[in-house]
A and B are shown apart, each in its own frame.
Chain A
């Protein structure tokens, strides 16, 4: 078919855009509804749930922020995420490097041991019994301890370190560089892309975790944001404008992080899924 200008209409292209638009509605729609609701008053919402908000008031956000105990929960989540991710990444490099280089006996066996856990049954119950006996139940330190592992991260690091020439180790050692110093000053900077990927993969996992805080933390003062949000939903379940504002507050940091670090995030989560 010809248009007035004489160019062919590419129906495949039109169809593609139509399909993309449909998926965009399905993917952006729930978010738009959330944003819109967060700016409405409760009577407005009750009258017509989908009508556009008429004013840009931040009342709901203020209410959610104060009533949901957000400052506390957000601080907790930040503390858990940052401390566990930092400790994990550092210990993980010290595990991955000698395995990748064969500097420890049974390096392959060790790597297999990390991979195998991905297929075994969940260890939730023995883990709980252990924590209970160690007195680490309902204890922030104990909670952080649960996040000091991530087999997938080890596998990603090992693969990346293997791509760094071994001659580097020899040259550095000849210059009098020690093992610890070599890892800290040479390996860490060289494997930055892999570290970024693993850090993000691990941090997102902790940030979003719901099951472990439900199991291990009973004191409200220790709740991370996920658990706090579920509690808030229980109380404010029918007041959607306030609840939507709360959900938006919780979503925004992740969303901004995602837009800024998209490349690392997608590669991290995809590698995490594939290796998992």
Chain B
């Protein structure tokens, strides 16, 4: 029931809703859907260049033709490796730390605040802080590694090495989010269950595996889904820490580099935006397939546990 009058007055909600909806259609939904259309063209980022319909050519080039396609498969592989390590480690650490700070210990609020902090800083600050922390010529981490008789070139090292350090920074930056979601999950578990388990003489591990873990299912699902999708799409730390370096690229960065030029500072490539659009669609399908598979597995698991 609408109470605020009839006639013209009845149209007021529509009228006032319009700006928000228009912005959204124009800037977000429309472009998002149009990406498919653009992926079939040779549109470039330069104004005034004629646009041609080229059918599946972008996809053919991206997935099938020569060395570029081979490089792209390496990029897919790297994206999946990044996703795997970031998801598993961030998930495990997030759960562990959440359980740590969910105990009645002194100063847990301080620790929570500190561990969540990087989330608000954004890729530029996160990246620059770590570039300094991993300063290769006698920085703190370099000294610790030296103490253990080893060394690293960090972000200036071999591609695999630099890539691994980006994984470290990515996890550092986002673990707080996983932690907070787990904390809110832990706080929904009634304390009577823990008391009952203790009275029954359950060991710490039994309490975790029989009480905490199954009852955490909703936050487990949320965190796994967020971590998987987030890490498949993540690339900004690569931009800040490494630039578009061979042997380190992930798919999200490739889309940006093909469409808008290679590095953050200079504009170099030919702005192949049709090609970049087709890469966006490929990334979308990778996220879709992996995301749906995860949902399917998590749902079956949930049914098994919670019946």
Contacts and interface: CB of A to CB of B under 8 A. Distances in A.
The range of chain A's interface size is 35 or more
Contacts of A211: 236, 239, 256
B4 A226 contact: no
B27 interface: yes
Contacts of A128: 45, 259-260, 273
Given A27-B117, A148-B23, A230-B264, A129 B13 contact: no
A161 interface: no
A169 B115 contact: no
Interface in A186-240: 204, 207-211, 214-215, 226-227, 229-231, 233-234, 240
B194 interface: no
A27 B172 contact: yes
A60 interface: no
A123 B115 contact: no
A48 to B, nearest CB: 6
A148 B45 CA distance: 23
B273 A129 contact: yes
A125 B125 contact: no
B92 interface: no
Nearest to B135: A49
A104 B129 contact: no
A271 to B, nearest CB: 10
Interface in B113-138: 113-125, 128-130, 132-133, 135, 137-138
Nearest to B123: A210
Interface stretch (B63-71, B277-285, B296-304): B277-285
Contacts of B27: 123, 127, 145-146, 148-149
Interface in B80-137: 96-97, 100-101, 103, 105, 107, 111, 113-125, 128-130, 132-133, 135, 137
A270 to B, nearest CB: 5
A121 B281 contact: yes
Contacts of B115: 23, 27
B120 to A, nearest CB: 5
A164 interface: no
8 contacts: A34-B132, A34-B133, A91-B23, A122-B280, A124-B256, A125-B31, A128-B259, A276-B226
Interface of B: 1-5, 9, 12-14, 16-17, 19-21, 23-24, 26-38, 43, 45, 47, 96-97, 100-101, 103, 105, 107, 111, 113-125, 128-130, 132-133, 135, 137-140, 143, 172, 177, 180-181, 184, 204, 222, 226, 230, 236, 239-240, 255-256, 259-260, 264-265, 273-274, 276-277, 280-281, 283-284, 288
Interface of A: 12-13, 16-17, 19-20, 23-24, 26-31, 33-34, 37, 48-50, 91-92, 94-95, 97-99, 103-104, 110, 113-114, 116-117, 119-130, 132, 145-146, 148-149, 151, 154, 169-170, 172-174, 177-180, 182-183, 204, 207-211, 214-215, 226-227, 229-231, 233-234, 240, 243-244, 247, 250-251, 254-255, 258-259, 262, 265-266, 269-270, 273-274, 276
